[in-house]
Structure formats: C-alpha cells, structure tokens
C-alpha cells in the first residue's frame, strides 16, 4: 500500500485535472481524544467519492451529505476561501459523530484546490522529496517549498503549514517466510519495501507483490538504498556474512531503526564480532537492535513478524516501550522465576 497522504493527494489531483469539483479536508486542531491525529487529510469529490479519513467515519458521512450529491445530498460545495469547522463541541455532537467522550476536532476545508499546484506537489513527493505546503486562509492560495526536516502542522489566523512526505521505507535483508509476512505488514502500514537477497534459492519463492527486489550484496544494497530518518533496515538471514556488513553500513545512516533477528546469544555474538573485527564500540553499536521485536511469546513466522512490526512502529511513532516488552529482558526474567 502506498503512502496514505500521497494516495489522497493523487486522487485529489486526478479529480481536479479532470475538471471535477473537490475539497481537501485537513485536521488542524484536536482537543481531548480524537480518532485521527492533526495533519490527517481527506479528499472529497462533488459526486461523493472519498479518499483518506479525518475520523472514524461519521464526520466523513456528514461532509459527504453537506458538500456532495451522494446519497441525495444537496451538492452545495462552496466556492471561495477556505473555512474552519469544528465537530464534537457538545456532548450530543460528540455522540452523533462518534467522537470519544470530550473529543473535539477542527477541520480546514479547501474548496477546489488548484490542479497545477497539486500536480507539482505529487510529482515532488513521488521523487522522495519532503515538501512544505502553505495555504493562505484569506484566499486559499498555495505555496510549495522544499522542507529540510519533517515538522508538525501549524496554523494561525493567516495560514496553515503542513509538511508531506517522503514515504517511510523498509529494507529487508534476506528473503524467506518471515520476510514475506513482515513485508506484507509493512506495506499495509504505508512503508515502501525493498528486499535484498543475493541468494537465488531464497528469492525463487518470493510472492509478495509491490516489493522492490535487489540481488546486490547487502552492504552495497544499503548504500544504494540511502537510508534516511524515515527508513528502517532489518536483517533476517541469520548469516553474519550477509547481515553484519549491512547492519554496520545502516548504522552510519540516519535510519530510525536498525536491527536483526536472532536469539539473545546470537545478538551478543554479533556485537562481539563487530567489536573485535570491525573496530566497533558499545557506543557505536548503541542503536543496533537485537533480538528485535516486542515480547509476545511468539514462536511462528507470522507472530514474530507481528512482534517486529510492532516494535518498528513504536520507534517510528516515538513511543518508549517498557523494558518488560524487550525480548531479551522478558526472557531473562522468565529464567529467574
């Protein structure tokens, strides 16, 4: 599955290029609990077609009824400058729109965004660039600029500034059943997945669509992949000749997650090899994760993939997991019981 924001913007671009009236909706503020975070976007076409989401579904239904011709709606999508609207201000509204108790969110509605600007934005995002989109609340005009780093959405009485892209990426070292499950989960979580395995016998049974495959040696594949702060690199081969150099190369990058599968004994042996043969130190290996995943008692490839994907998403979302969730710590505790 492609990056959700890019998918929404691509649909909106196509609608506008085809001459269809459409609206871009952005979550700009939330109070209390909210189904979707600030920055979430949804596109709505005049005929009721929807891409993306700003809530659990009830607010989308209300927007469709108000601003499209779907389901007998009036089809009265306004023209003119953007509008700010709030949902869930009262307890009755929160219940009506399916918001959690006390939840309120504010949306910015942009009517008929400029097709050329959308086309330019999508083109930059498809090239892997981080882009800043600034919307004037006075007239709806849009400015695009390259962004140096990801930033949270900001809005004031004059403008809204939102940063898009690039998509999150995952490089898997080693084909196999576990890699297939992990690639599938990563794909539907919005990651673009690349698989590296120079071994023909392992690649021959690969069956996950939409994954880029490279046959380079893993350390060369990491160099070509050029990991950035939205990238993760995961070693799955259990083969030091393939995993070790790739992991060392990844640790020199900005990748937000670098780790390898294996037991506690294998993880410790890996660190010892890297220190003894590759001039590494405990400090230089501080970001290397292993055993990877969170402890859920997993034994089978799909359960292990769930465990690994959960840890990757937690790191991506800046969630600090309790030490008890670490595989090594949890298993050590079991041995002392």
User: Which pLDDT score is estimated for 122?
Assistant: 93
**Does residue 5 surpass a pLDDT of 80?**
yes
pLDDT digits (tens, 9 = 90+) for 24-43: 999 999 876 666 789 999 99
The answer to whether the CB of 133 falls within 8 A of the CB of 109 is no
The average pLDDT across 278-283 equals: 94
Instruction: For residues 13 and 264, give the distance between their C-alpha atoms in angstroms, rounded to a whole number.
Output: 49
Q: Which residues contact 6 (CB under 8 A, 6 or more apart)?
A: 122, 125, 126, 164, 165, 167
The answer to whether the CB of 236 falls within 8 A of the CB of 182 is yes
**Does residue 285 surpass a pLDDT of 60?**
yes
User: Which pLDDT score is estimated for 97?
Assistant: 60
User: Which pLDDT score is estimated for 93?
Assistant: 61
Q: Tell me what percent of the residues of the chain surpass a pLDDT of 90.
A: 65
Domain ranges in the chain are 4-164, 168-336
H-helix segments, 157-198: 177-188
Sheet of strand 50-52: strand arrangement: 50-52, 41-45, 22-31, 104-111, 83-87
H-helix segments, the chain: 4-17, 58-67, 91-96, 115-126, 177-188, 200-203, 218-225, 240-251, 264-277, 301-316, 327-336
Task: Look at residues 334, 303, 312, 208 and name the one whose alpha carbon lies nearest to residue 255.
Answer: 312
The answer to whether the CB of 291 falls within 8 A of the CB of 262 is yes
User: Which pLDDT score is estimated for 164?
Assistant: 92
| DSSP string computed for 31-48 | ES--SS-TT-EEEEETTS
pLDDT digits (tens, 9 = 90+) for 49-100: 999 988 866 788 889 988 887 655 556 788 899 999 998 755 666 566 666 5
The average pLDDT across 187-193 equals: 89
- Residue 158: exposure state from Cβ atoms within 10 A (0-12, 13-18, ≥19): exposed
Q: Provide the pLDDT confidence category of residue 127 given band limits of 50, 70 and 90.
A: confident
The CATH architecture of the domain made up of 168-336 is: 3-Layer(aba) Sandwich (3.40)
The count of other CB atoms within 10 Å of the CB of residue 238 is 14
**Does residue 101 surpass a pLDDT of 60?**
no
Helix, strand, coil percent values for the chain (each to nearest 5): 35, 25, 40
User: Which pLDDT score is estimated for 56?
Assistant: 67
Mean pLDDT of the chain: 89
The average pLDDT across 188-211 equals: 90
pLDDT digits (tens, 9 = 90+) for 242-260: 999 999 999 999 999 999 9
Q: Which of 61-70, 134-143, 164-173, 286-295 has the lowest mean pLDDT?
A: 61-70
Helix/strand/coil for 146: strand
Q: Provide the pLDDT confidence category of residue 128 given band limits of 50, 70 and 90.
A: confident
The count of other CB atoms within 10 Å of the CB of residue 127 is 10
Q: Tell me what percent of the residues of the chain surpass a pLDDT of 70.
A: 91
pTM of the model: 0.72
More confident residue, 157 or 91: 157
The average pLDDT across 275-293 equals: 95
Question: b/e for 168-194, b at 16 or more Cβ within 10 A?
Answer: bbbbbbbbbebbbbbbbbbbebbbbbb
């Amino acid at each position: 599955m492609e990056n959700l924001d890019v998918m929404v913007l691509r649909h909106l671009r196509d609608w506008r290029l085809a001459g269809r009236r459409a609206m871009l909706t952005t979550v700009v503020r939330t109070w209390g609990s909210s189904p979707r975070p600030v920055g979430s976007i949804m596109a709505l076409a005049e005929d009721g077609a929807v891409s993306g989401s700003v809530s659990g579904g009830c607010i989308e239904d209300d927007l469709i009824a108000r601003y499209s011709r779907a389901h007998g709606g009036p089809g009265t999508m306004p023209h003119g400058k953007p509008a700010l609207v709030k949902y869930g201000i009262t307890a009755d509204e929160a219940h009506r729109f399916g918001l959690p108790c006390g939840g309120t969110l504010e949306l910015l509605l942009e009517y008929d965004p400029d097709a050329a600007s959308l086309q330019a934005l999508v083109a930059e995002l498809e090239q892997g660039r981080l882009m800043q989109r600034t919307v004037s609340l006075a007239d709806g005009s849009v400015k695009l600029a390259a962004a140096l780093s990801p930033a949270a959405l900001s809005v004031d009485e004059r403008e809204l500034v939102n940063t898009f892209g690039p998509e999150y990426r995952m490089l898997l070292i080693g084909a196999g059943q576990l890699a297939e499950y992990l690639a599938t989960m990563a794909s539907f979580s919005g990651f673009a997945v690349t698989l590296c395995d120079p071994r023909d016998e392992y690649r021959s049974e690969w069956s996950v669509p939409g994954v880029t495959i490279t046959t380079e040696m893993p350390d060369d594949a990491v160099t070509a992949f050029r990991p950035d702060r939205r990238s993760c690199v995961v070693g799955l081969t259990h083969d030091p000749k393939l995993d070790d150099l790739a992991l060392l190369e990844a640790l020199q990058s900005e990748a937000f997650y670098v780790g390898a599968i294996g037991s506690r004994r294998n993880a410790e042996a890996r660190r010892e090899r890297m220190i003894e043969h590759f001039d590494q130190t405990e400090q230089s290996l501080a970001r290397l994760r292993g055993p990877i995943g969170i402890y859920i008692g997993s034994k089978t490839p799909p359960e292990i993939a769930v465990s690994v994907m959960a840890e990757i998403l937690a790191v991506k979302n800046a969630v600090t997991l309790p030490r008890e969730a670490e595989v090594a710590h949890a298993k050590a505790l079991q041995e002392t019981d």
